Structure 1
Amino acid sequence: MSLEIKLSRSHRIYRPNEALEGKIVAKISSSVSHQGIRLTINGSVNLQVRGGSAGLIESVYGVVKPIPIVKKTIVVQPSGKIGSGVTEIPFSIILKDKGKEDQEKFYETFHGGNISVQYLVTVDVARGYLHKSLSAALEFIIESEKDSLPEKPISPETILFYITQDTQRHTLLPELKSGGFRISGRVCSQCSVLDPLTGELTIEASGTPIQSIDIHLFRVESILVGDHVATEASIVQTTQIADGDVCRGLALPIYVILPRLLTCPTIYAGPFSIEFKITIVITFQSEQTKAQKKFDPKYPQPWVSKHIKLFVIYTILLSLKYLMMGI
């Protein structure tokens, strides 16, 4: 005896103005009676404050109450029977009610460390007090409506940056200071979330050989807990764009594919916010590098040069707004 939900779209991606359609598949060896089959969609923002970001606040609050987005229930079938074998029951439910565009705010699906935006469809088959009810659940993905997207500019803005020993705020190895280095580059300020983040980087000069050039993608999650704001930055992915000592004056392409469920439009809501930043990391060859090959990218090392840029993701379009924060 099993119950399963199959949506009409294999990728399970829907927009708020569309109907969630699919079928309920019941596999039963012998017919059973039921008191009704109900389908429920439930969307919420789940918040959790961890000790690393909140300290003492965690012991008082811990898990913050979820923020409801949508909850709807429909009766797919009234009381009756489900025959033996495989039974398929179709369903259709509107996600956003017409006339409630201002009241219902559908955030895009996001799986973060402390914040997650999740949408579930659940089916329940009630069988009375003497029998255990049957249930099944499935997550579906919400993306922004196409009509609400801003128009893509004809010529996307390009942000220029440069990295030298003078832009670093942490301690560098003496060999890096004496030899010096200069790295310049550019990154396109707008792209689709479904498209890669592109640009280029050039090693203009470096007295010390380079070991690796990486781009770290971070998420910055902030939660309002009482009178305090708990903020934590965690790494999402690392993309290596160069391995070994690269040629000077050669333009290296920057090509970063954004993980869809681990990124989302930047959100500035009252009780929480979700932002993203990229860090360009230049690792130089040295004896200390050989002794300690792994390190936390959030903390600078004397043989590493870093350059941080904050960016904002809007709906399907990715708008990069950079803030120079030479570390």
Structure 2
Amino acid sequence: MSVHLKLSRPNRIYRPSELLEGKIIVKTQSSISHYGIRLTIKGSVNLQVRGGSAGVVESFYGVIKPIPIVKRTVEVQSSRKIGSGTTEIPFSLNLRQDEDLERFYETFHGADISIQYLLTVDISRGYLHKSLSATTEFIIESDKGDLLQRPIPPEMVIFYITQDTQRHPLLPELKSGGFRVTGKICTQCSLSSPLNGELTVERSAVPIQSIDIQLFRVESILHGEKIVTETSLIQTTQASDAGFV
């Protein structure tokens, strides 16, 4: 016997105002009796242990309890029998029940912090038989109406890089001859849109072999009156690989 959940969308992405739809698929070689089929939606914010050396945020693991976002159980089917073979039981659930009290945050899987939503099915078979259960994760994206601004206007930030802005050791040629790189980058954008900007090398005392752009993830938690922050590298993209002066 086996049971698993099949959501209506292959990408498993839903918005809080939408219905969470799918099927409960039960496979059994002979008919079975059950005492109810229930679906449970759980959402929570958690600190997670990565393993290895503990980071600043990770050091609070075990001190800060998971923060529940939503927890709801719905009975899909009352006591009855399920025939042999494959049985599909459709379901449709409202994610948001109370517009004033419930707030859904977008799904997030960081290095230290995660926001996760799980859907679990339980088929109760009484004291003499083991219950059947299965769990799957679904992804929450914010409704457009929940955004602070709609749409978010692009904000370009101008930056510059010189030998005086660097904190790490530099080659003697760079210290004496110097260099200057200027540019601008958009600091507000949708996760589904590209990150736009431009960069200009105005001068450099040594040839530049490549230009890499790195994207970092910054995770913060508020513990008492203190904000603890952890930074981790997500992606490195080579913007130019041709050597030039």
Q: What is the Cα deviation at residue 148 of structure 1? A: 2.5
Partner of 2:176: 178
Partner SS state of residue 56, structure 2: helix
- Quick one: distance in 1 between partners of 2:24 and 2:239? 46
Matched, 1:140 2:134: no
Q: What is the Cα deviation at residue 171 of structure 1? A: 2.7
- Quick one: distance in 2 between partners of 1:233 and 1:157? 23
Partner of 2:221: 223
Which of 164, 167, 172 is residue 165 of structure 2 equivalent to?
167
Q: What is the Cα deviation at residue 157 of structure 1? A: 3.5
Matched, 1:151 2:150: yes
Partner SS state of residue 173, structure 2: helix
Q: Are 2:57 and 2:221, in contact at CA under 8 Å, matched by a contact in 1?
A: no
Higher relative contact order (CA 8 A, sep 6+): 2
Q: Are 1:159 and 1:186, in contact at CA under 8 Å, matched by a contact in 2?
A: yes
Q: Which amino acid aligns with 2:233?
A: I
Deviations 1:47-101 (A, max 9, x none): 247732169x55xx5363110000111111101111111100001111001xx22
Q: Are 1:22 and 1:90, in contact at CA under 8 Å, matched by a contact in 2?
A: yes
- Quick one: distance in 2 between partners of 1:48 and 1:10? 27
Partner of 1:270: none
- Quick one: distance in 1 between partners of 2:150 and 2:135? 37
Q: Are 1:48 and 1:63, in contact at CA under 8 Å, matched by a contact in 2?
A: no
Partner of 1:53: 56
Deviations 1:109-147 (A, max 9, x none): 000111100001100001111111110111000001122
Q: Are 1:47 and 1:63, in contact at CA under 8 Å, matched by a contact in 2?
A: no
- Quick one: distance in 1 between partners of 2:57 and 2:182? 37
1:299-310 pair list within 5 angstroms? none
- Quick one: distance in 2 between partners of 1:129 and 1:153? 55
Q: Are 2:57 and 2:220, in contact at CA under 8 Å, matched by a contact in 1?
A: no
Partner of 2:94: 94
Matched, 1:124 2:127: no
- Quick one: distance in 2 between partners of 1:244 and 1:101? 54
Aligned pairs, number: 241
Change (3 A) 1:86 1:54: closer
Instruction: Output the aligned Cα RMSD.
Output: 2.1
Partner of 1:209: 207
Change (3 A) 1:116 1:63: farther
For structure 1, which runs of at least 5 residues remain unmatched after alignment? 249-327
Q: Are 1:39 and 1:76, in contact at CA under 8 Å, matched by a contact in 2?
A: yes
1:1-327 pair list within 5 angstroms? 1-48=1-48, 51-53=54-56, 58=60, 62=62, 64-97=64-97, 100-149=98-147, 150-152=149-151, 156-225=154-223, 228-246=226-244
Q: Are 2:108 and 2:116, in contact at CA under 8 Å, matched by a contact in 1?
A: yes
Q: Which amino acid aligns with 2:151?
A: K
- Quick one: distance in 2 between partners of 1:200 and 1:5? 46
Q: What is the Cα deviation at residue 102 of structure 1? A: 2.8
- Quick one: distance in 2 between partners of 1:22 and 1:130? 29
